[in-house]
Amino acid sequence: ERELTVANTHATSHGPGAPGISDAGFVERVRDAIDRQELSLVFQPQADVATNRLTGFEALSRWRLSDGTMLPPDVFVPMAEQGEAIHLLGEWTLRTACAAAAGWVRAGYPDIPVSVNLSARQLDDPGLVLKVLGILAETGLPAANLKLELTETSMFSQAAEAREALVQLRGAGIRLVLDDFGTGWSSLATLRRVPVEALKIDKQFVQAMVEDRDAAAIVQAVVALAHALDLGVVAEGVETPEQRLYLQAYRCDVLQGYWLSRPLTTDGVSDFLAKRSVI
Ligand code: C2E
Ligand code: CA
Ligand code: CA
Ligand code: CA
């Protein structure tokens, strides 16, 4: 217990959440992690709720420390977001995800987009649009095969410049999705400001839906709202056949979750694609 107290003191008195690590130190750690291939991406399939047809993959970051410990993205992404490391991590993620998706196109799957989580802090970078377009050019990925998942909490404090960046990305043909919909503060205001093509319902609602009438009502209302605005709607965290049946009854478009598949490694994606193409 004593050790914990000491660790906590360090965590609050030093850099981005880690004892004794300054922001510059964390940028270096992320750079090393990239060089040593401690960072990787896994890809979780998404499918049409009604037909089960594959509609894309979400890229999720993984960090395996040299001793084998997995550092969860819920830990290292917020740490990176506290300083400049998010720009390095974000650019690596975009480039790696786009390179993977360009490989799927070359392997004969032209219509399988990759969704990449974009941190709000990346929108503060005035060079973001050019970076993204540069990565598309470099990897040869068509703009329509890239989706960016934006969290609405992130948009709350958003400056006009950030909105302008999103308009430019959308104008270039990149598709925008509002992630974790319903968990933030500004959902409806954000919808009017940002040119998104789909809403993603957070797993907390999806997983409560079968047991809890309020959660079910929220899922139905979000589907209705999305469709009234001519937007698509994706449900995440779908684990059971019952949840899938509810989503089908509610006319939700796309699902993602362990019911369909856990996030897959690059090899796992190849196997998944090969199996799917037979269906
Ligand atoms: P998210 O964007 O809401 O991603 C969905 C999370 O739910 C992922 O956790 C995914 O592995 C998990 N998940 C998927 N299906 C199921 C299911 O059926 N049941 C349950 N219980 N969980 C499921 P993960 O990979 O640990 O990522 C956590 C969060 O970290 C993500 O939440 C996202 O906000 C963030 N994140 C992950 N990778 C990146 C990244 O490359 N960049 C940024 N900015 N954020 C990332
Ligand atoms: Ca996401
Ligand atoms: Ca999220
Ligand atoms: Ca979520």
Ligand nearest to C-alpha 119: 1
The residue whose CB lies within 8 Å of the most ligand 1 atoms, and thus the one to mutate among 40, 44, 46, 60, is: 60
The residue whose CB lies within 8 Å of the most ligand 1 atoms, and thus the one to mutate among 64, 91, 115, 117, is: 117
Nearest residue by C-alpha to atom 37 in ligand 1: 60
Ligand 1 pocket at CB < 6 A: 44, 60-61, 72-74, 77, 93, 117, 119, 179-180, 203, 236-239, 257-258, 263
Task: List, in sequence order, every residue forming a beta bridge with 147; answer none if it has no partner.
Answer: 115, 175
pLDDT in tens, 262-273: 999 999 999 999
How does residue 1 score in pLDDT terms, banded at 50, 70 and 90? very low
Q: Atom of ligand 1 at shortest distance to CA of 41?
A: 41
How does residue 151 score in pLDDT terms, banded at 50, 70 and 90? confident
Range list of H helices, the chain: 2-13, 23-35, 73-81, 85-106, 128-139, 152-155, 160-171, 187-193, 203-208, 213-228, 241-249, 266-278
How does residue 19 score in pLDDT terms, banded at 50, 70 and 90? low
Nearest CA-CA partner of 112 in 173, 55, 41, 44: 55
- Residues lining ligand 2 (ion), CB within 5 A? 117, 149, 179
Nearest residue by C-alpha to atom 19 in ligand 1: 237
Read off the pTM.
Answer: 0.92
Query: How high is the pLDDT of residue 158?
Result: 61
Nearest residue by C-alpha to atom 3 in ligand 1: 180
Ligand nearest to C-alpha 148: 2
Q: Output 154 or 214, whichever has higher pLDDT.
A: 214
Query: How high is the pLDDT of residue 185?
Result: 62
Find the 253 Cα to ligand 1 centroid distance in Å. Answer: 20
Query: Residue 235 is encoded by which pair of tokens?
Result: 């449900």
Using N-to-C axis directions, what is the helix angle for 73-81 and 23-35, rounded to 10°? Answer: 130
Q: What are phi and psi of 183, to 5 degrees?
A: -95, -10
